[in-house]
Amino acid sequence: MWARNKYIVLRRIVQLLFLALFAAANLWGWKVLMGNYSTALVMETVYLSDPYMVLQTLAAGFLLSADALIGALIILMFYAAIAGRSFCSWVCPLNLVTDLAFRMRKKLSWRKKENIMLLGRNSRYWILVLGLLLSAILGVAAFEMISPIGMMHRGVIFGFGMGWAVVLMVFLFDLFVLENGWCGHLCPLGAFYSGLSRFALIKVKHQAENCSNCNKCFPACHEPQVLDIIGKQSGFIRSGACSSCGRCIEVCEDNALKFSINNYKKHRREL
Amino acid sequence: MSDDQLNASRRDALKTMFRGAGVLGLGGMAWGGVVDGLKASELALRPPGALAEKSFIKACVRCGSCVEACPYDALNLATVDDHTAIGTPFFVPRETPCYMCTDVPCVPICPSGALDSELLKPSEPTEASERMDINTARMGVAMIDEDACLAFWGIQCDACYRACPLMGKAITLEFRRNDRTGKHALLEPHINRTACTGCGLCEHACVTEKPAVFVLPKELASGKVGNHYIKGWDKRDEKRLHELKEEQKNRSQSAEDYLNDWEDLIDE
């Protein structure tokens, strides 16, 4: 039972811990993690910032303080070099909502291929660029103005106001319109980390000799296109779109998938 | 592959690109419209030391640190229905005004520079320990609706005057004869715009149902003279005249010529 749900339990603990620490900073003045998912002060010493937010602010024409810029660099390096796109499934609070929609969709067994909206998995990269363009044109960080991630955070910590409506919109969109619609097709922040994460250190490793081609991993995955090597060849799931949620590892009954350290040498030979 | 097939697939690719660009444009316009609408509101009162509204919404990272730092819980973060840039801090004086903490805890905590302690520099050099002087804050400016103000009716009320942390400087009481009764005085409150910090303690204290004194963002409550008027009695302002280029100083046409120039106004 533990092995089947190890990562999902850990992920929920980590996600809720971040929310709880942010909330505790506001409610009781804890100094562990103050701020939000765009900029947070850790233990009153280091600032961590969302690099996509910093880019938007730059595009809008404002150079943030050195604290925020260095914080963004730390985060950029951490995800690009080590943890991959794990922000999306381990930290982002909206993941609680989109995961729920994903699971409900599976339970209701809606058919998967019913994309009526012309949205592909690459749409998000265009939206990422669009966000920077709009920031430059309008002189204000365009995604931060509408970000459901920010609304979810502020909702939990400071009270939702009408912000819950935006979070609900994401849920309904994911449930009724498009599977994994927000995280996998629209979110420019997810796109940002996807674009960065190809050469991260921690990757899911596939051992094709153990694989029985049961195909259980595909429906569990939020980005099933990244699993293209499953059952065909051994190696790493290299795509930056993989958010290291570990769901495929949990559902695999053949011990053919596990988290591992990326082998860069081998990567070069494959290319 | 035959030429026809090649052309067909090329046509398809172009079509897809065209369609994608169209959808992107559509989304961009919708997104831009929403953002533009949200940032257009100028009604929010910002914390002390905030940059001018336009720069402020650029710079603010919406982290809520200032909100957390405020000991009076005066600051809120805007949600969707607050009609200002979402996630940015603001306060509503009628609910909770700014109590003007002397150490201004909301400002140094700001990680982005949207709240700038430089803007709160003491006007006169004081002890080195005091880096900020809350009295230099310009969060907004108080306005009085004289029709709704009891003091202007002749009823004695100095609630705003007493509540003002810069009593006698930012709000003064001016005595005027009450013409209605002929034997009383009106104690009229007046706002001194150069001293008012916009803290809103007056609005909070006002006894009328809807406050007769209220704080508006400075930008919204200010006019502008323009550069072409110069205070001749102010030496520093007068200097601007001497800095002007020669052609700006001397118009080719004199005012008299200009006013008497009928030619263009008469139809043939």
* A101-134 pLDDT, tens digit each: 998 988 887 665 555 556 788 889 999 999 999 9
Query: A50 near A37, Cβ under 8 Å?
Result: yes
b/e burial code for range A108-125 (CB count within 10 A of at least 16 → b): eeeeeeeeeeebebebbe
Quick check: A57 and B58 CB within 8 A?
yes
Provide the pLDDT for residue B15: 81
- Hey, what are B133's tokens? 């002087």
Point out the domain boundary residue: B107, B139, B171: B139
Q: Is B210 exposed, middle or buried (0-12, 13-18, 19+ CB in 10 A)?
A: exposed
Using the beta-carbon criterion (under 8 Å), do A38 and B62 form an inter-chain contact?
A: yes
Cα–Cα distance measured from residue A49 to residue B28, given in angstroms and rounded to the nearest whole number: 25
For the question of an ipTM over 0.85, the answer is: no
Compute the average pLDDT of residues A159-184.
85
Asked if residue B81 and residue B44 are part of one domain, the reply reads yes
CB contact under 8 A, A29 and B68: yes
Indicate if the pLDDT at residue A80 is higher than 70: yes
**Chain B contacts of A25, Cβ < 8 Å?**
68
Better-scored residue on pLDDT, B2 or A27:
A27
Does B108 share its domain with B49? yes
What value does the CA radius of gyration of chain B take, rounded to a whole number of Å? 28
CB-CB under 8 Å, B77 with A68: no
Predicted local distance difference test score (pLDDT) of residue B249: 62
Domain end among B139, B168, B193: B139
Helix ranges restricted to H, chain A: 2-27, 51-60, 66-77, 86, 94-107, 123-138, 142-146, 148-158, 163-172, 181, 188-196, 217-220, 247-251, 264-270
8 Å CB contact between A173 and B72 = no
User: Does the distance separating the beta carbons of B58 and A139 come in below 8 Å?
Assistant: yes
Q: Is 80 exceeded by the pLDDT of residue A162?
A: no
Q: Å from B146 to nearest chain A CA?
A: 34
Range 153-182 of B in CB contact (< 8 A) with A: none
The residue whose two tokens read 């950029």 is A76
With 60 as the cut, is the pLDDT of residue B67 above it? yes
pLDDT of residue A245: 92
Q: Domain for residue B20, yes or no?
A: no
Alpha-carbon distance B186 to nearest alpha carbon in chain A (angstroms): 44
Helix (H) or strand (E) holding A42: strand A39-42
| Whole-angstrom distance, CA of residue A84 vs CA of residue A193 | 7
Structural domain including B121 reads 28-139
Check if B31 contacts A (Cβ < 8 Å).
yes
Same domain, B152 and B174: yes
Task: Kindly indicate the confidence band of residue A182, based on its pLDDT and cuts at 50, 70 and 90.
Answer: very high
Across the interface, whether the CB atoms of A142 and B32 are under 8 A apart is answered yes
CB B49 within 8 A of CB B117: yes
Residue B130 pLDDT > 70, yes or no? no
With CB atoms and an 8 Å threshold, state whether B36 touches A138.
yes
Torsion sign, CA atoms A132, A138, A140, A144: negative
Least confident of A69-73, A84-88, A174-178: A174-178
B84 within some domain: yes
Which residue in A134, A139, A158 is closest to B31 by CB distance? Answer: A134
Q: What is the DSSP string of B143-186?
A: EE-TTT-HHHHT----HHHHH-TTBTTTEEEEEEEETTTSSEEE
Evaluate if residue B1 carries a pLDDT over 60: no
Output the domain CATH number for residue B134: 3.30.70.20
Residue A4 phi/psi, 5° resolution? Answer: -75, -25
Whether the CB of B35 is below 8 Å from some CB of chain A: the reply is yes
A134 CA to chain B: closest CA distance, Å? 6
Does B6 score more than 80 pLDDT?
A: no
Q: How far is B133 from chain A (nearest CA, A)?
A: 22
Are residues B165 and B94 both part of a single domain? Answer: no
Distance from CA of A175 to the nearest CA of B (A): 21
Please report the pLDDT score of residue A58 as a whole number. Answer: 92
Domain count, chain B: 2
> What local confidence, expressed as pLDDT, does residue A45 receive?
86
* Minimum Cα–Cα distance from B82: chain A residue: A161
Of the residues B112, B115, B117, B118, the best mutation for testing chain A's interface (the one with the most A CB atoms within 10 Å of its CB) is B112
Domain boundaries, chain A: 2-195, 201-270
Distance CA B26, CA A118 (A): 12
Give the other-Cβ count within 10 Å of B211's Cβ.
22
Contact B139/B45 with Cβ under 8 angstroms?
Answer: yes
Q: How far is A79 from chain B (nearest CA, A)?
A: 20
Q: Nearest Cα to B198, choosing from B43, B41, B40, B38?
A: B43
Token output for B12: 């398809």
**Given this model, what pLDDT does residue B23 score?**
82
Q: Do residue A154 and residue B80 have CB atoms under 8 angstroms apart? A: no
**Residue indicated by tokens 């609706």:** B145
CB A149 within 8 A of CB A50: no
C-beta atoms of A161 and B34 within 8 A: no
By C-alpha distance, the chain A residue nearest B88 is: A145
* Paired tokens of B137: 């804050």
- Give the range among A61-65, A156-160, B84-88, B203-207 with minimum mean pLDDT: A156-160
Confidence of residue B176 (pLDDT cuts 50, 70, 90): very high
How does DSSP classify residue B115?
Answer: B
Q: Which B residues, 49 through 78, put their C-beta within 8 Å of a C-beta on chain A?
A: 54-55, 57-59, 61-65, 67-68, 76-77
Q: Give the residue from chain A lying closest to B40, CA to CA.
A: A138
- Which pLDDT score, from 0 to 100, does residue B104 have? 92
Res. A271: pLDDT tops 50: no
| CB-nearest partner of B113 from A26, A65, A166 | A65
Out of B84, B111, B139, pick the residue that ends a domain. Answer: B139
Residue B8 domain-assigned (yes or no): no
Topology given in CATH for the domain delimited by A201-270: Alpha-Beta Plaits (3.30.70)
For residues B103 and B190, membership in a common domain is answered with no
pLDDT of B247: 62
